[in-house]
Structure 1
Amino acid sequence: MKLWKTAWRFLPLSLLVLVLTGCLGETNLTALDPKGPQSQWIFDNMLLSVYVMAFVTIVVFAIFFIILAKYRRKPGDDEIPEQVHGNTALEITWTVIPIILLAILTVPTITGTFMLADKEPDPNVGEDTVRIKVTGHQFWWQFDYEEEGFTAGQEVYIPVGEKVLFELHAQDVIHSFWVPALGGKVDTIPGITNNLWLQADEPGVFKGKCAELCGPAHALMDFKVIALERDEYNAWVEGMQAEVAEPTETLAQQGRAVFEANSCIGCHAVGGVGTAAGPALTNFADREVIAGYLENTDENLAAWIHNPESLKQGNNMPAFPDISDEDMEALIAYLRSLSVKED
């Protein structure tokens, strides 16, 4: 009776976990809704493992309850049943069945491992295979399109239906690059180069995270993979390669002066000018979030510039608390002008 009461106490918690799991699916931060060949293989093998475990569980419990009912002690059973030791047929059976079950899991695991390890270029596009160098920082992601000649931050764009090769590095500590809807996780380790390939089978925005505890703001080290049709992807690349146009509005022009006066260009490259100590800002106005997780609003942007430590503990961006409201308004106007999308 006490066992049932305890189980009922945990029922609300179980329902809450179920609801929250559904919420994760809405942000694409789930491996249960695969959108690429890697994630589909992981999902299929996960289901196969569940089916095998369910089969074993059902069989074991069925035998348990049958024995419990058939051989339970009945009134008048005063004698000890005949003791039987060793049954060759049963011993062979419960040895062979696990071997068969392991073989069922082993074959797809081995074939899938070779598939995941295939880092060769996409045979469908040949030399046009997209290659991206990924560098993990505390606490943001840098994406270098070295063959195309530009750098992106926090958002990585890929073409739909093509195998994209990623070269993984870390600037400071160990991070882990993970896009659940597209594939498994691979660590980025200082001084070591790891490799990964991903493919998106349909256009969309797929959320990624760092899956290795890397500091106080580890939970906020998010990024996005944005999959576009090839022609849209090519247009985005051309926009990132193009020289950033001068702001046309007076307020944005004043904001550029504020940007340069505060040495922002020393950390944030714009159109290939500047360094990559912080995320590149060439397409800043096109991003939905800032700092990896904050909604890209003027209020959040101003709060981030004034005091980034209060919003993302342990990050390396310096605070600028002395920027006046007028200069902040102009600076935000300049950042809002940084877009590579066609009007």
Structure 2
Amino acid sequence: MKRLAKWRLISLFAMLALVLSGCGKPYLSALNPAGEVADTQYDLMKLSTYIMVGVILVVVVIFVLVFVRFRRKDEKIPKQVEGSHRLEIIWTTIPILLLLILAVPTVASTFKLADVSPMDKKNTKALIVNVRSHLYWWDFEYPGQKIVTSQELVVPTNEKVYFNLKSMDVKHSFWIPAVGGKIDTNTDNANKFWLEFDDKRANEAGNLFYGKCAELCGPSHALMDFKVKAMSRDKFDAWVSAMQDVKEPQKATTASAVKGQEIFNQSCIGCHAVTPANKMPDTARVAPNLTNFGDRSRVAGILDHNKEELKNWIKNPETYKPGNMMTGKYGNLTDDQIDAVADYLMGLKVQE
């Protein structure tokens, strides 16, 4: 009875795992590709799956036929086939052909997806984004546009976007499941690759994709998310212009926000920048850039973007991201002071 109960429990967990494996959001699924890289990787996944399933079916059919047709009925020893040149050729040739069918498109795609030569050309017109990973947030620099932002990657659709990736602390991994990836961000060298964001799929996803860290990096690894805003080239150019127009910290417009800006300048400006210009080395960026914080869709990459969640984050970031570098650095602010700072940050917008 105990063994029966144990097997029932194992069967239940197996069924739950099968059901839950199908749960998820379209913008987080690698099986719902939204770009050229994702399409290529998805096609390779399907090809390898078809080959594996085909091999399994052939083996099962042969097994059943042999089991039924050649089951032992008497003591007579059946004809022995070891040393058959025909069989040896068949079961050697077929695996080689299957490997070639899988290897040729895989190798061709590997070289295609690894081609980042346009970003290395002098005076290139390619859009390049320098990605810098930190515990537990992301930094995005657009060297050609001379702007920096954090936590939300903004990209144009239907064109290649080239990425130059590096880590500022420990190994992380940059991954946008619906669009392609993933690739490690290392501390000692920069990795490069490119992605293309499909306009139609971006519209279906509400122009918002989710990115994640795919390398175990600490207690808040699962919470190291970032958002990707994919938009037409015209809208992207408008966003770049709006960011470039911010030459100095935006001034607060309400009494509460003015008070919050004063507190921010006393307690937070040492880590957080509120202008997008790249005026500091990578190693000097110790906290996310907040220039367009009011335009974002998440607080700390994981919380709903509203004033209450922002206040909760400022009050106790350790509750939401254990091990994060902000914990204990913002000072002992009162509830009124936190409320004022939240008003100021929510007003940092570059686009209406």
TM-score, normalised on structure 1?
0.91
Alpha carbons 1:284, 1:339 under 8 Å: kept: yes
Compared with structure 1, are the counterparts of its residues 134 and 9 closer, same or farther at alpha carbon in structure 2 (3 Å cutoff)? Answer: same
Structure 1 residue 85: deviation in Å? 2.6
**Cα offsets for 1:261-317 (capped at 9, x unmatched):** 21x111111024796210100111112211221222323212221221222111111
Aligned counterparts, 1:1-343, within 5 A:
9-10=9-10, 12-26=12-26, 28-74=27-73, 77-121=74-118, 127-202=124-199, 203=202, 204-243=207-246, 244-262=249-267, 264-272=268-276, 276-319=285-328, 320=330, 322-342=332-352
* Distance (whole Å) between structure 1 residues aligned to residue 138 and residue 20 of structure 2: 26
Which letter maps to 1:216? Answer: P
Do 1:48 and 1:105's aligned partners in 2 also have CA atoms closer than 8 Å?
yes
SS in 2 for 1:31: coil
Most deviating of 295-304 and 230-239: 295-304
- The separation in 2 between residues aligned to 1:8 and 1:318, in whole angstroms, is 45
In structure 2, relative to structure 1, the CA distance for the partners of 1:235 and 1:15 (3 Å cut) is farther
Report how many residues are paired.
334
Would the alpha carbon gap of residues 20 and 282 (structure 1) be closer, same or farther in structure 2, given more than 3 Å must change? Answer: farther
Q: 1:233 to 1:84 in 2, by over 3 A?
A: closer
Matched residue SS, 2:212: strand
Encode CA deviations 1:301-342: one digit per residue, 9 max, x unaligned. Answer: 122212212221111114346211221111111001111222
Q: CA RMSD in A?
A: 2.3
CA distance in 1, matches of 2:16, 2:302: 24
Whether the aligned pair in 2 keeps the contact of 1:25 and 1:33 (CA below 8 Å) is no
- In structure 2, runs of 5+ residues without a counterpart are none
Give the drift of 1:165: 0.6
**For the residues of structure 2 that align with 1:174 and 1:5, how far apart are their CA atoms?**
43
Question: What TM-score, normalized to structure 2?
Answer: 0.89
Q: Deviations over 1:219-263 (max 9, x none)?
A: 11111121110111111111211225322222111110111121x
Of stretches 154-163 and 16-25 in structure 1, the one that deviates more from structure 2 is 16-25
Percent identity between the two aligned chains: 45
Deviations 1:181-206 (A, max 9, x none): 11121111112011011110123211
Kept in 2, the 8 Å contact 1:242–1:271? The answer is: no
Q: Distance in 2 between matches of 1:18 and 1:227?
A: 32
- Alpha-carbon distance in structure 2 between the residues aligned to 1:184 and 1:7: 39
